[in-house]
Structure 1
Amino acid sequence: IRIPISAKNRLGFSTTNEAGTIAQTIQDNCASLIAVHGRTAKQRYTGEADWRFISEIKAKLSIPVLGNGDVDSYSTAKRRMNESGVDGVLIGRAAQGNPWVFNQNDRLPSVASVFRVIETHVKRMVEFHGEIQGLLRFRKHALSYLRRLDVNREIGATLIDKTNLNQFLTQLDGIAHIFLDDSIRL
């Protein structure tokens, strides 16, 4: 195959017994890069990611290795890279509703910025998927953004039940004004 192939793997299903062997097999079968999640499939999102084990896998392979698990900021990403020797990291759940997770200074955005990003994001989803599908697909994103602002579920529910973009944007503006001075417009 002439195109680069990458693979992502967990440490195993319920134990880490085979993780090193699986990673080596992936490398031996022409993968250009492997990403290793520091939990087993059985762990799902519980417990801590095992970066020590990710580091051991990295030491055994000659291809680039990306680590994944419990990376929630740029500074955490840099620390994990330095401690484990991986070539990079993947950020998953921490990026949901938080595209600022990739900022090198770890500064949080203003509340007004968050609401502007929500508005831009939903408009792009509607543009790409159409109004109904765009709004349906955006629900989980909207809730992720609002959760980071500590918006309660009842208020969030009033946003995600909207069936057209104008209703959504009107409700979003109303929620924004709970947090912002009325003189600030989105």
Structure 2
Amino acid sequence: MADTSFHIGPYQIAPRVILAPMAGVTDKPFRVLSKRLGAGLCVSEMTTSDPRFWNTAKSRHRMDHDGEPAPISVQIAGTVPEVMADAARYNVDHGAQIIDINMGCPAKKVCNAWAGSALMRDEALVARILDAVVNAVDVPVTLKIRTGWAADQRNALAIAKVAQSAGIAALAVHGRTRDQQYTGTAEYDTIAEVKAALSIPVFANGDVDSPQKAAEVLARTGCDAVLIGRAAQGRPWIFREIAHYLASGELLPEPTVQEVRDVLIGHLHHLHEFYGEVSGVRIARKHLGWYAKDRPENQAFRAVVNRAETAQAQLHLTGEYFDALIAGVTPELPAAA
């Protein structure tokens, strides 16, 4: 049986399933929930390396790690080595125990600033950024990349070797190139090639959406862990499902409707408390939509919940909806909230 854990610096990570950083999704309430439901590590949504934005409400929320389970991994993005080094120091001073560098984000907003996966076009600059950040902090530094910039420019292996030489503690590879964005299907051969060439932990990312797929990707790539991104939206229990399957070869039963209700109500409370009522209600809407997406009443439920303007209304409507499902009756969805 393969090892069920690995280390990033001094931190033992188990199980071998990690919440991937997603802007606007992997905030503190979602990270805490994912960790509780079985994720071995949760990486924060991307924080800017530009100090002008560190005191905005958005950045303060993104840098709030009070009471978060260790190890706390914070992702930074940027293009200037010295600025990235300062950002790493700032985040470590504010609770980060692992610094993750984003060279995997395909977003135009990020890439047009030459950050994210655009950096993979300039291997010399990558080396300077990694050296600057690794030397700036006393905590492990990890890196997230894609397989390359474009289909005919798959340079993940070259970047990976640069990263290991620079002292990067672990590497995550998304099995798509920058120009694919999130389209097509992830390929794992490049990730396997990277894993075979390195001695540091390597994580596979892309299209892992079930326990069976996680096991298949780990077997195919030889990687130390899988990253779960979009498949965790509305299904945070996927972490324990994957962990259980990797450990036992058996599938856990789906969570009961009662448990989904309890998880969701708890998540709503945490969002309202963390962001305040107005922002919390707004941010919760997308999570409610993801939770409901597999249910037949999904559209009606979303239409109603999206009209809830207060925390109390949002909690009440959600509770009533799930209580009806638990009772085995079709939820009575009011015309307006």
- Report the TM-score when normalising by structure 2: 0.51
Give distance in 2, aligned partners of 1:144 and 1:150.
13
C-alpha contact 2:292 2:301 (8 A) present in aligned 1: no
CA contact (8 A) 1:55 1:86 kept: yes
Q: Give me the whole-angstrom Cα distance separating, in 1, the residues matched to 2:212 and 2:298.
A: 29
Structure 2 equivalent of residue 4 of structure 1 = 140
Structure 1 stretches (4+) deviating beyond 4 angstroms? none
Equivalent position of 1:144 in the other structure: 290
| Structure 1, 105-114 or 50-59: larger mean CA deviation | 105-114
Structure 2 residue aligned with 1:88: 225
- Kindly indicate which of the two structures has a greater share of residues assigned to strand: 2
SS in 2 for 1:161: coil
Q: Is the 8 A contact 2:141 2:169 kept in 1?
A: yes
| Larger deviation, residues 101-110 vs 82-91 | 101-110
3-state SS in 2 of match to 1:7: strand
In the TM superposition, what whole-angstrom CA distance separates every residue of 1:10-36 from its partner, at most 9, and x where no partner exists? 112222422211121122211010000
TM-align CA RMSD: 1.8
| Structure 1 residue 62 corresponds to structure 2 residue 208 | no
Q: Indicate if the aligned counterparts of 2:171 and 2:200 stay in contact, CA closer than 8 A.
A: yes
One-letter amino acid matched to 1:119:
I
Question: Structure 2: any 5+ residue segments left out of the alignment?
Answer: 1-134, 245-250, 330-337
Of the candidates 249, 257, 271, which is equivalent to residue 111 of structure 1?
257
Give the aligned residue type for 1:158: V
One-letter amino acid of the structure 1 residue matched with residue 196 of structure 2: A
Q: Is the 8 A contact 2:265 2:319 kept in 1?
A: no
Q: Secondary structure at the match of 2:144?
A: strand
Q: CA deviation at 1:45?
A: 2.1
2:149 is matched with: 13
Aligned partner of residue 47 in structure 1, secondary structure? coil
Aligned mates of 2:326, 2:206 — CA distance in 1: 34
